[in-house]
Chains A and B, each alone.
Chain A
Amino acid sequence: MSALITRPLALLGATVLAALATVGRVTRFALDAFRHIITPPFYGREFWHALVHVGYLSLPVVGLTAIFTGGALALQIYAGGSRFSAEQVVPQIVALGVVRELGPVMVGLMMAARVTSSIAAEIATMKVTEQIDALVTLSTDPMKYLTAPRVFAGLVTVPVLVAVGDTIGVFGGWFVSTQSLGFNPATYLQNTVDFLEPPDVISSLVKGAAFGVIATLMGCYFGMHSGRGAQGVGRATKSSVVAAAVLILAANFVLTQAFFST
């Protein structure tokens, strides 16, 4: 009888302890990554490659996601607004929705899908094939050579991607609204510009930076802590994407509350 009570409690305790230990390890990993970002030596070539991979090569997927999201949002706001004769608020709501929420969150999730997975798979494969050990024997710290350039690239490029995504998202709404909902192109744009305020844009870029760090950090962390063989690489990749997506959505809530709760 007592086992019936203690066993679930023991299981719960073990799970909580394991979760706290993981939080501790991730926190130490993140602090170590930032220490390597600000202390020499710096690997410029690696940083440049990371910039291209994380930032430039993500532009197509960010652009496509943003344009369809902006267009769909315009249709939804128009249909919803028409129920109480408020169709004219489409430019304002699209701008607010895209810049404050959908732009950064969609870019963040695209980063988790595209960048986190590829970083985790690449580093995990390097670990499994002893390339990480080879780096150490060649007097190169893997945290400095692999993690620091990727995390720094995430920090600086994802806000730019978010700015691009926001612009294309608003354009998607403008395109749908002017082509099929009968809005005047110039008035739509004027309403958008007039309605947005600096905190909207700043919050969007700050979210982008936070999501960029989360996406790259999770890829590096799970890659570096991968298990053996193909199964280990697969598990590391899956765990990194899940962790990055959940943390991005949680961070989005915290940042939204920090910026906009009155």
Chain B
Amino acid sequence: MIELKNVHKAFGAKQILRGVDLSVAKGESCVIIGGSGTGKSVTLKCILGLIRPDQGQIKVAGEDVTATGDRDAFLARFGMLFQGAALFDSLPVWQNVAFRLLRGSLKRPRAEAKEIAIAKLRRVGLGPDVADLFPAELSGGMQKRVGLARAIAADPEIIFFDEPTTGLDPIMAGVINELIREIVVEMGATAVTITHDMSSVRAIADKVAMLHGGKIRWHGPVAEMDAAHDPYLTQFITGSPDGPIETLR
């Protein structure tokens, strides 16, 4: 479904991606792990076409993302949950969720779009009373849920989750992880998640890819992750300050 071949990206003199190769099958949930600044977000943005890679090829369902003609139709296949939820402050919750359904090629009548938004909010555990509130009136966990509802509002084929549990308490993080897993399975969507949170990895992933030094260092099923003999992966999983990954003290 998603295929990256030898993807390079630099910002000025700083080389972020140095030949990323990764493939995610249809209906699979792949979690990309790695330290801060290793290029996880850049990889996602390259797949979405928000950032153009300097070299390499990215294909989504066989279509080259850099050569796609109809951007609207291309992006309509995706849903994305952003790290800070990225809800639009000026719009009430239901309009955030139904944003795609109120404009563009997927436009529906306003009443129908609101009904769908309320149904999606219910799916992520929020009542219809939340629909008319503004994002600033919600807690961090509720904002993540609204972001999740927005990501799934148009029933996308592919969903991206950028640090879905950052800033949440462990219980709320567990709830969000469970919700993500349930929704991805229920929708049959292909999911790519980037995170540092190992509890997310274990809850969400079918496959895990570790990004380090601008390349995929390890890639395999989540069940094989703990037994893998890769010192970089082991250090990351255990959170040890000692190991091949350099740390600042």
Contact = CB atoms under 8 A, between A and B. Distances in A.
A131 interface: yes
Contacts of A138: 75, 99-100, 150
B14 to A, nearest CB: 14
Interface string A42-56: 010000010000000
A199 B164 CA distance: 61
Interface in B74-116: 75-76, 78-80, 82-84, 86-90, 99-100, 103-106
A129 interface: yes
B50 interface: yes
Contact of B80 (A49, A131, A137, A140): A137
B72 interface: yes
Interface residues of B, number: 25
A136 B86 contact: no
B88 A140 contact: no
A42 B84 CA distance: 29
Contacts of B150: 138
B86 A139 contact: no
Q: Which of A131, A134, A136, A137 has the most CB of B within 10 A?
A: A137
A233 to B, nearest CB: 14
A137 B78 CA distance: 7
A133 B87 CA distance: 11
**A: contact size bracket:** 10 to 19
Contact of B103 (A41, A49, A130, A134): A41
Given A138-B99, A139-B71, A139-B72, A131 B86 contact: yes
Interface of A: 41, 43, 49, 126, 129-131, 133-134, 136-140
Interface of B: 45, 48, 50, 71-72, 75-76, 78-80, 82-84, 86-90, 99-100, 103-106, 150
Given A49-B90, A130-B83, A140-B104, 14 more contacts: A126-B88, A126-B89, A129-B86, A130-B82, A130-B84, A130-B86, A131-B86, A131-B87, A131-B89, A133-B82, A134-B86, A137-B80, A139-B75, A140-B103
Instruction: Across the A-B interface, give the 7 residue pairs with the lowest CB-CB distance, nearest first.
Output: A134-B86, A130-B86, A139-B75, A139-B72, A137-B80, A130-B82, A139-B104
